[in-house]
């Protein structure tokens, strides 16, 4: 089969052990049954076409680890399969606002390459993944404890069809997607923010002379510039004026002899 007909599935599995403990699971399904359902979905994907390829990434709190890598032939021609590429995220850890910029860059790249991102959030909720699924045409699902018992059926029904088939199916619609951005400094979600014109980092205030993300320097805002100008010309405790031309004038005046009265 030609490489153009191949599909690539990238499965990203959250393996944070703190989120898969029995205490964290509660009434939800534990880790091993969830992985069994995921294996059923992967087998269904491989059975669709012998040319389909698979990559599995395990994400920990430290760094991701590639568990299964697509073959080298496919790696050399990834640009030929981007139209049929799919990313499936199995998430259990809440969002980290400090990763906002990195996540949004990945979402924009996937959107530009027409790669759908599907997310199944197990016992958690993710604003980042809601935005990713909405912007790339994927699905975002938060299965209940009862639905986790049949997670394989849910995965096959919602995540297995390609983009053309999904247009003919009744897929779950995203409601009330939170598109608020996170401040680069405080990691707080903001309704209104200031954006760096170079790297597009988000800040909760505009009194920034140098962007802490890309180190680009900007002229001070007019309000801050006026404050600095007033501070430069204001006398300190009634003493001589200092700073710039005022200091030179003050120095020249103090050195000149005064006329006697």
pLDDT level of residue 136 (50, 70, 90 thresholds): very high
Helices (H), the chain: 22-25, 31-48, 72-76, 100-112, 127-136, 145-148, 151-158, 163-166, 222-233, 244-255
Assess whether pLDDT exceeds 90 at residue 13.
yes
Residue 160 shares a structural domain with residue 224:
no
Residue 108, both tokens:
């924009």
Return the higher-pLDDT residue of 203 and 131: 131
Identify which of 110-114, 212-216, 229-233, 236-240 has the greatest average pLDDT. 110-114
Same domain, 83 and 154: yes
* Contact predicate 43/120, CB 8 Å: no
Q: Is residue 173 part of a domain?
A: no
- Is residue 107 located within the same domain as residue 210? no
Residue 261 resides in a domain: no
For the segment 81-123, what is each residue's pLDDT rounded down to a tens digit?
445 789 999 998 888 877 877 888 899 999 998 899 999 998 8
In a domain, 260, yes or no: no
Whether the predicted pLDDT of 217 surpasses 90: no
Segment holding 38, helix H or strand E: helix 31-48
Residues 115, 9 share a domain: yes
Q: What is the residue whose two structure tokens read 């052990």?
A: 17
pLDDT for 23-35, tens place per residue?
Answer: 666 677 788 899 9
Whether residues 90 and 9 share a domain: the answer is yes
Kindly tell me the sign of the dihedral angle through the C-alpha atoms of 204, 206, 207, 208.
Answer: positive
pLDDT of residue 1: 37
Q: How far apart are the first and last CA of the chain?
A: 106
Please name which of 136, 61, 46, 55 lies closest in space to residue 92, comparing C-alpha atoms.
61
Top pLDDT among 226 and 118 is at 118
**Residue 235, class by beta-carbon neighbours within 10 Å (0-12 exposed, 13-18 middle, 19+ buried)?**
exposed
Rounded Cα distance, 13 and 31, in Å? 11
Over pLDDT 90: what percentage of the chain? 24
pLDDT at 184 over 60: yes
On the 0-12 / 13-18 / 19+ scale of CB atoms within 10 A, 203 is buried
* Shared-domain flag, residues 151 and 206: no
Overall domain count for the chain:
2
Average pLDDT, the chain: 76
pLDDT band per the 50, 70, 90 thresholds, residue 71: low
Counting Cβ atoms within 10 Å, is residue 130 exposed (0-12), middle (13-18) or buried (19+)?
Answer: buried
Nearest to 66 by CA among 132, 11, 117: 11
The structure tokens listed for 94 are 């809440």
Residue 200's region, left for phi above 0, alpha for psi from -120 to 50, else beta, is left
pTM here is: 0.69
- Grouping H, G, I as helix, E, B as strand and the rest as coil, residue 58 is strand
Q: Are 196 and 211 in contact (CB under 8 A)?
A: yes
pLDDT recorded at residue 168: 87
pLDDT at 125 over 60: yes
pLDDT winner (highest mean) among 2-11, 90-99, 119-128: 119-128
Let me know if residue 94 belongs to a domain: yes
Provide the pLDDT for residue 45. 92
Q: Which domain holds residue 71?
A: 3-166
One domain, residues 32 and 139? yes
Here the CATH number for the domain that contains residue 67 is: 3.40.50.410
Q: Answer yes or no: are the C-beta atoms of 138 and 118 closer than 8 Å.
A: yes
- Position 95 in a domain: yes
Instruction: Tell whether 121 and 207 lie within a shared domain.
Output: no
CA dist., res. 167 & res. 157, Å (int):
13
**Dist. CA 232–CA 234, nearest whole Å:** 6
């Amino acid at each position: 089969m030609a490489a153009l007909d191949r599909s690539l599935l990238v499965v990203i599995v959250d393996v944070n052990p703190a989120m898969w403990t029995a205490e964290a699971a509660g009434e939800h399904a534990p880790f091993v049954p969830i992985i069994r359902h995921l294996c059923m979905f992967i087998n269904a994907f491989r059975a669709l076409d012998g040319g389909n390829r698979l990559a599995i990434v395990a994400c920990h709190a430290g760094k991701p680890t590639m568990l299964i890598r697509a073959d080298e032939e496919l790696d050399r021609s990834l640009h030929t399969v981007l139209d049929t590429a799919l990313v499936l995220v199995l998430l259990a850890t809440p969002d980290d606002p400090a990763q906002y910029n990195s996540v949004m860059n990945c979402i924009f790249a996937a959107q530009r390459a027409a790669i759908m991102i599907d997310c199944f959030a197990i016992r958690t909720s993710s604003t980042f993944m809601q935005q990713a699924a909405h912007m790339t045409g994927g699905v975002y699902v938060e299965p209940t404890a009862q639905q986790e018992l049949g997670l394989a059926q849910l995965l096959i029904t919602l995540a297995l069809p390609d983009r053309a088939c999904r247009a003919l199916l009744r897929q779950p619609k995203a409601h009330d997607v939170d598109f608020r951005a996170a401040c680069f400094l405080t990691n707080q979600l903001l309704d209104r923010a200031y954006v760096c014109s170079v790297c597009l980092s988000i800040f909760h205030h505009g009194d920034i002379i140098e962007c802490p993300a890309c180190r680009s320097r900007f002229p001070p805002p007019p309000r801050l510039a006026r404050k600095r100008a007033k501070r430069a010309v204001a006398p300190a405790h009634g003493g001589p004026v200092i700073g710039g031309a005022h200091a030179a004038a003050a120095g020249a005046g103090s050195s000149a002899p005064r006329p006697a009265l």
